[in-house]
Amino acid sequence: MTAAEAAVAVHGLRKSYGHLEAVRGIDFTIRPGEVFGLLGPNGAGKTTTVEILEGYRKRDAGTVQVLGIDPQRATPAWRERIGVMLQSSSLYPNLTAIESLRVFAGYYSKPRNPEEVVDLVGLSEKRDTRVRKLSGGQQRRLDLGIALVGDPDLIFLDEPTTGFDPGARRAAWDTVRGLRELGKTILLTTHYLDEAEQLADRVAVLRDGEIVREGTPSDLTGGAVETEIRYRRDGRDIVERTTEATRRLNELTAEALARGEELEGLEVRRPTLEDIYLELTAE
Amino acid sequence: MSLLGHEVRTEQTLFWRNREAAFFTFLLPIIFFVVFGSIYGDSHIKEEGGLRAAPFLEAGMIGYGVASTAFAGLAITMVIRREGGVLKRIRATPLPSWTYLVAVLVSTFVVFVIEAALIITIGRLLFAVPFPHEPFSLIAVLVLGALAFAAMGLGLTGYVRSAEGSSAVVNFIYLPMAIISGTFLSPEGYPPFLKAIAEVLPLTYYTRLTRNVMVHHQHLWSDLGAVGVVLLWGAIGLIAAIRGFRWEPREG
């Protein structure tokens, strides 16, 4: 895939603030229609990267193409095609939910119907409530709605579900899946690993401004990663790590059967994305 | 054009919905006019050659009104929007920045014109102040004031760091300015040190212009020196705005 065909193509991207190197030469490509997750702890460079792609910040080095153009030379026509949900809420407190959507819909030439968007983000019952009377989670859902109301091709979601209760998170995930079905490209930053696992086709893990791992969520958890086997013997907890889980389990159970014992507390765990992430982002 | 209309309507809704701001910027000059006009409207000001106080106060309240709407109100609103991330959010939409800023200015001007019309009507009904004889100069003086003080208000935003502090900082500047510039009382009767401060303040010159047009029924351009000072302050505000206006919150 060439840079022109990709929804987002980033090569050798660098950005410093004074002496702090926030992004230290990263490369990644997002295909049209893909949900791409940018994972990492706070301060890893996620927001800096996203804000360069959104056209807010100038890079120090590297090339960036977003929907075929350099975001430093953003035009209104390009902005028609992108949707942005910032990391912190950015709303007018005295407008109602539906009015907020109408205001932003008015900036686009072919917006989605605000009535439909208010349903989509689950705010139908709060459509006529002023923003300042909405809960934090409801305000975030309205932020999400505003990011969608222009009917963009590429949507940036910067920590979209931070502060959501579990029900609202699942609803937001369904919304994102719905967008994916519509063929939208989504760049999602998150520090919730289950969110990345649930939503992203591919993820890149950022640490200290560098991509330390990239692939599908199952690439990251699969491969030559060790499986953990736990059991109890003679009253002691034993933890083994092995890349040959089947053989090792067969040995253990055969031994136990030969002795006529039960393998107490037997647990076999494949590492989750969370384990990998913690390992990758550990200092 | 429809984009500009959409944004002006949005700005109007936002302004009138924000009751506290609408009270302080829009209603307060009108209330002051009614209250002070009732107290000393019929007295005569010896420093102004025995002029009746009501028309003098009326033109002064137009000056106070431009400082509260175009300068103070606009500065506070824009700082709150900047720190709340709204300006940053708008930057990500196809709405061009200049369309947005023009809409904000047009909306500010609409509020100021309604305020001025109410003050002039109240002056006529309650205090028998005649309408200005030069309608063109009246419109011109309103446009001049709104543009110059809005430029100063936008220029000030770069020096205000937080939304919480914005009304304190702005009121600290505009309330003393309104008093020292003589919007309520004739600056001719001030002690010399206040007079010296008044002589550099833009509102002193702007109020002189509103009084020329509204009280003395002169043309706006009959005092080009005062027009020049107001424009100069507007230009200083514009330069400060170009250098210091930010779309994004100040982080950390």
Task: For residues A164 and A259, state if they share a domain.
Answer: no
Q: With contacts defined as CB-CB under 8 Å, which chain B residues touch A79?
A: 92-94
Residue of B nearest to A52 (CA): B92
Q: What is the pLDDT of residues B124-172, one digit of tens each?
A: 999 999 999 989 999 999 999 999 999 999 999 999 989 888 888 898 9
Task: For residues A64 and A164, state if they share a domain.
Answer: yes
Residue of A nearest to B248 (CA): A56
Task: For residues A102 and A121, state if they share a domain.
Answer: yes
The low-confidence residues of chain A, meaning pLDDT below 50, are none
Q: Which helix (H) or strand (E) holds A230?
A: strand A227-233
Task: For residues A72 and A189, state if they share a domain.
Answer: yes
Q: Which helix (H) or strand (E) holds A236?
A: strand A236-242
Q: Which helix (H) or strand (E) holds A10?
A: strand A8-17
Strands laid side by side in the A202-207 sheet: A82-85, A154-158, A185-190, A35-39, A202-207, A210-215
Last residue of a domain, one of A221, A238, A267: A221
**At B245, is the secondary structure helix, strand, or coil?**
coil
Is the residue at A155 inside a domain? yes
Task: For residues A200 and A238, state if they share a domain.
Answer: no
The widest CA-to-CA distance across chain A, in whole angstroms, is: 76
Task: For residues A113 and A172, state if they share a domain.
Answer: yes
Q: With contacts defined as CB-CB under 8 Å, which chain B residues touch A90?
A: 84-86, 88-89
Last residue of a domain, one of A180, A196, A221: A221
Is the residue at A214 inside a domain? yes
Is the residue at A3 inside a domain? no
Is the residue at A252 inside a domain? yes
Task: For residues A257 and A193, state if they share a domain.
Answer: no
Q: How many other CB atoms are there within 10 angstroms of residue B244's CB atom?
A: 14
Give residue A260's domain range: 227-281
A72 touches chain B (CB under 8 A): no
The ipTM value here is 0.90
A166 touches chain B (CB under 8 A): no
Task: For residues A206 and A258, state if they share a domain.
Answer: no
Q: With contacts defined as CB-CB under 8 Å, which chain B residues touch A106?
A: 3, 6-7, 10
Q: With contacts defined as CB-CB under 8 Å, which chain B residues touch A86?
A: 85, 88-89, 92
Last residue of a domain, one of A198, A221, A244: A221
Chain-chain contact of A76 with B3 (C-beta, under 8 angstroms): no
Task: For residues A233 and A192, state if they share a domain.
Answer: no
CA–CA distance, A141 with A118 (Å, rounded to integer) = 9
When pLDDT is averaged across residues B56-63 and rounded to a whole number, the result is: 95
Is the residue at A1 inside a domain? no
Ranges of H-type helices in chain A: 46-53, 76-79, 97-105, 114-120, 136-148, 166-181, 193-199, 217-221, 245-259, 273-281
Mutate to test the interface with A, among B8, B78, B88, B93 (most CBs of A within 10 A): B93
Task: For residues A258 and A215, state if they share a domain.
Answer: no
Alpha carbon of residue A237 to chain centroid: 36
The pLDDT assigned to A246 comes to: 85
Domain count of chain A?
A: 2
Model confidence at B84, in pLDDT bands (50, 70, 90)? Answer: very high
Show Cβ contacts of residue B49 under 8 Å, excluding neighbours closer than 6 positions. Answer: none
Task: For residues A167 and A98, state if they share a domain.
Answer: yes
Task: For residues A271 and A147, state if they share a domain.
Answer: no
Q: Note which residues in 75-94 of chain B have CB less than 8 A from chain A.
A: 84-86, 88-94
The pLDDT assigned to B223 comes to: 94
Q: What is the pLDDT of residues A134-161, one digit of tens each?
A: 998 899 999 999 999 999 999 999 999 8
